Amino acid sequence: AQRVTQPEKLLSVFKGAPVELKCNYSYSGSPELFWYVQYSRQRLQLLLRHISRESIKGFTADLNKGETSFHLKKPFAQEEDSAMYYCALGEGKLIFGQGTELSVKP
């Protein structure tokens, strides 16, 4: 069965520290993976997708098929990165993980 797991409900780091939000998936076939972000009082929006291989707001995510992971990373966290982050799998119809709340402290 297709599944997305985000093991951390809350991740708290200090400003300037590296951050890694974990995402593991189960999928038979070639997965299409996304990271969505929800800032306080804003809509859920796409942050990045694995096929683009791009860096958005300093975040990157690499698909590791061997470990079935798509972890989101940023070398130096900023306070404005504080938000709810969701990993998602699929094509059209998406399967979302449980979400990780990132809190960046000054």
Partner 1 sequence: DGGITQSPKYLFRKEGQNVTLSCEQNLNHDAMYWYRQDPGQGLRLIYYSQIVNDFQKGDIAEGYSVSREKKESFPLTVTSAQKNPTAFYLCASSIVPGQGAHEQFFGPGTRLTVL
- Which residues of the shown chain bind partner 1 in the complex (CB under 8 A)? 4, 6, 9, 32, 34, 43-46, 49, 51, 86, 91-99
Sequence-distant (≥ 6) Cβ neighbours of residue 33 within 8 angstroms? 23, 25, 49, 50, 61, 63, 70, 87, 88, 89
Compare residues 15 and 95 and give the one whose CB is closer to partner 1.
95
CB of residue 16 to partner 1, shortest distance in Å = 29
CB of residue 99 to partner 1, shortest distance in Å = 5
Distance of CA 46 to the CA centre of its chain: 10
